[in-house]
Amino acid sequence: MNEMEDREFYLYFLNDLSYIPRPSKWVEFIVEKQIFSLLKTTLEYIRFTHVMAGHILLSLFTDLTLPLSQPFNFMFMILSFFITSLILFPVNIILEICKMIKIFDFELYNEDKWNRMTAKKGLDDIKDIVQKGRNALGSNNRNSKVFNLDMVETLLILSTIIYDQKVDKVREVYKKLKIHEGDDFEDLIDECREAYEDIDKKAKDLKFNFLPLSELNNPDSLFSGMYLSEHKNNQENNFIVITFKGTSPTNFTEWLTDFLFMRVDASQFVFGEIHKGFYDNFFPKTLDETKESYPAKRMVEAICNIAKKMHERNKKKVNIWITGHSLGAALAQVFYARLIKIGTLPEYCVLRDAYVFAGPAVGDKEFASSFNGIFHKNFEENKTFWRIVNTNDIVTKMPPQHLYGVLRRYITKDDILNYYSIGYKVHLFLDNNKPKGIVFREKNNDDDEVDDNLGSMEDLLRKKLIDDRKDYEDSEITLNNVLNVILGKHNIESYNDYYENHSSEDCTMDKIESFIPGYFHNHYPHRYFMAMERLRSDKFELVVGDYKNIIDKVLADAHVVL
């Protein structure tokens, strides 16, 4: 990307930043004085409790029968309000102390440390993985049933690098922009580059270009960016990866966004109702403002603009991928749903898959069913929304929702637990459990990637029968199969040997990790990376499907008998 294009898209970003309303002078004063940092977050906490309390009161006043007609929902709504309010205030103080003594002040992505976490512990493993991942991201062939480890890990790495934003510098640029006079924006552009220089440096080291995309209505926390294919002599594979930053451990504003469980109607922009905190990051607060500019609209315009320039250079189409980790995964879900709702992008743009890591649920039943239904409208549809979960990561179970299908049919639209996850779930593990949602299959002899529609029916039938026979053998009631189920044994050698080849030091980014409970520890990006590296095999590839074991066999036999 040349300097002129770089400048143009930083102007796009400054334009997006200019739409964020300027706070009052006394709030600016509090933000400027670091000594008042706790006061600022306390004011945000008060605003949060005000919004939640207002929601409960309005829900009650508009339906006085609520305690009787929906007692469980009403009781849970009251309890969740009081519990979160009581928890968040001391959390606010604890986070400020952590900031002062820099407890969680460590890089989430460090190439040397991540190299030690790879299956082979090679010095250049990460660069090899990313090189293969880049090829897959720009490829025209697409096998929607294959879980491409190199590509998925590349997207995870990009989702992790984006945490390196300099928030204080962005806030400074925002303040100067609001009082800027004249037509010269060069100084502001230079300061923008400085705010994202750490991300850009790591991206370029992996042969990506990086550009900020949007601050999502808040210069203090969340934002999205674009990773672009690096081009040389007009021979690049065209692709753009839209990435959303997740929750920073000590950013209280982002914690409040996570805990704002109430939903708002988003059907005009996506589907059904979605989490209010995520809605506010993309869309106008009132329907009267839909003709005005809002973050999601500006983002689509910027993406199409840069895709058009890439297409003009070499006449190749541009693959659009979406990803994010944690809160970034939630934002990625909303934005991908917006792109799906739009339906048609310019002809030079090809919307590909979304891969989200450690993401919470963002919408209600209508949102989930409408979103998932889009993928079944056309039998030629070749997109998948991948939702990747690691071991016992607690964030993937948030907001509180009816996790058991037997209860879901009884909940109402207004139920506070009316949250549903979307997409195809891949559940990874860091223990002896086998992954769920993907299975091992022997790789093709050909190195070239094979499209879903290629291959004779005879080949497809032969492979299907081999897979069925293997499932039948694994589910037979034999002593060996029973022991495999009990011990969680796996037939892939590298899967079982991962911890034998890696010390505890190899598997951590910082010493503080040993004090973090597994429910939170397994939320970190490098823990997701380890869970995928354990699945690496030279002989097998990962494809969509679930293992059948002896328990499945017993249940199936019982069903036939009954």
DSSP string for residues in 471-540: HHHHHS--HHHHHHHHHT--S-HHHHHHHHH--TTTT-SSGGGGGS-HHHHTTSHHHHHHHHHTT--SSE
Give domain status of residue 129, yes or no: yes
What SS3 class is residue 323? strand
CA distance 21 to 43: 17
Residues 545-559 pLDDT 10s: 765 554 444 444 444
Q: Which of 29-43, 405-419, 441-455 has the lowest mean pLDDT?
A: 441-455
CA distance 31 to 218: 13
Give domain status of residue 249, yes or no: yes
Burial 425-460 (b: 16+ CB within 10 A, else e): ebbbbbeeebbebbbbbeeeeeeebeeeeeeeeeee
Query: What is the pLDDT at residue 427?
Result: 92
81 and 128 co-located in one domain:
no
82 and 197 co-located in one domain:
no
255: its two tokens? 């914690």
Domain range enclosing 352: 3-19+109-428
Query: What is the pLDDT at residue 48?
Result: 75
Give domain status of residue 300, yes or no: yes
Above pLDDT 70, what percent of the chain?
72
Give domain status of residue 235, yes or no: yes
Q: What is the mean pLDDT of residues 218-239?
A: 76
Give domain status of residue 504, yes or no: no
* Mean pLDDT for the chain overall: 78
CA distance 408 to 136: 38
Question: Final residue of a domain: which of 79, 103, 127?
Answer: 103
CA distance 70 to 499: 49
Pinpoint the alpha helices (H) of 102-196.
111-117, 125-137, 149-161, 167-178, 186-195
Give domain status of residue 488, yes or no: no
- As for how many domains the chain has, the answer is 2
Measured CA angle at 178 (ends 176, 179), to 5 deg: 70
475: its two tokens? 């589910």
Band of the pLDDT at 451, cuts 50, 70, 90?
Answer: very low
Quickly tell me which residue has 């400020």 as its tokens. Answer: 96
95 and 230 co-located in one domain:
no
CB 247 within 8 A of CB 258: yes
Query: What is the pLDDT at residue 103?
Result: 67
Residues 406-439 pLDDT 10s: 556 666 777 777 888 898 999 998 877 778 888 8
65 and 206 co-located in one domain:
no
Q: For strand 318-325 and strand 239-244, is the pairing parallel, antiparallel, or unpaired?
A: parallel
DSSP structural state of residue 391: T
Sign of the Cα torsion 464, 470, 473, 476 reads negative
Residues 73-128 pLDDT 10s: 778 778 877 777 777 777 767 766 766 666 666 688 988 889 988 888 777 789 99
Burial 183-209 (b: 16+ CB within 10 A, else e): eeeeebbebbeebbeebbebbeebebb
pLDDT at 242 over 90: yes
89 and 181 co-located in one domain:
no
Give domain status of residue 472, yes or no: no
280 and 388 co-located in one domain:
yes
pLDDT at 392 over 60: yes
Closest by alpha carbon to 432, among 376, 487, 509, 377? 487
49: its two tokens? 């409790």
Q: What is the mean pLDDT of residues 229-247?
A: 76
Question: Final residue of a domain: which of 71, 103, 135?
Answer: 103
Closest by alpha carbon to 272, among 342, 370, 376, 415? 370
Q: Which of 124-138, 310-324, 440-454 has the lowest mean pLDDT?
A: 440-454
Query: What is the pLDDT at residue 430?
Result: 85
Quickly tell me which residue has 């030629």 as its tokens. Answer: 380
Higher-pLDDT residue of 211 and 288 is 211
Q: How far is CA 143 from the centre of its chain?
A: 21
Closest by alpha carbon to 113, among 121, 105, 101? 121
Closest by alpha carbon to 369, among 437, 428, 418? 418
113 and 99 co-located in one domain:
no
Q: What is the mean pLDDT of residues 192-207?
A: 92
85 and 66 co-located in one domain:
yes
CA distance 176 to 189: 11
320 and 224 co-located in one domain:
yes
Quickly tell me which residue has 């303040």 as its tokens. Answer: 175
CATH of the domain at 236: 3.40.50
CA distance 562 to 550: 18
Query: What is the pLDDT at residue 42?
Result: 73
Higher-pLDDT residue of 322 and 474 is 322
CB 78 within 8 A of CB 56: yes
Higher-pLDDT residue of 202 and 480 is 202
Closest by alpha carbon to 390, among 518, 246, 544? 518
Query: What is the pLDDT at residue 399?
Result: 77
Give domain status of residue 514, yes or no: no
CA distance 377 to 389: 26
CA distance 556 to 158: 42
Residue type, 499: Y
309 and 376 co-located in one domain:
yes
Packed helices 37-62 and 71-101: angle between N→C axes, nearest 10 degrees: 170
Question: Final residue of a domain: which of 74, 103, 132?
Answer: 103
pLDDT at 339 over 90: yes
137 and 230 co-located in one domain:
yes
Burial 162-182 (b: 16+ CB within 10 A, else e): bbbbbbebbbbbbbebeeeee
85 and 203 co-located in one domain:
no
Residues 499-524 pLDDT 10s: 778 877 788 877 777 777 777 888 88
Instruction: Return the number of other C-beta atoms located less than 10 Å from residue 256's C-beta.
Output: 22
DSSP of 184-203, one letter per residue?
A: --HHHHHHHHHHTHHHHHHH
Instruction: Return the number of other C-beta atoms located less than 10 Å from residue 491's C-beta.
Output: 13
Residue 243 phi/psi, 5° resolution?
A: -125, 140
CA distance 369 to 303: 27
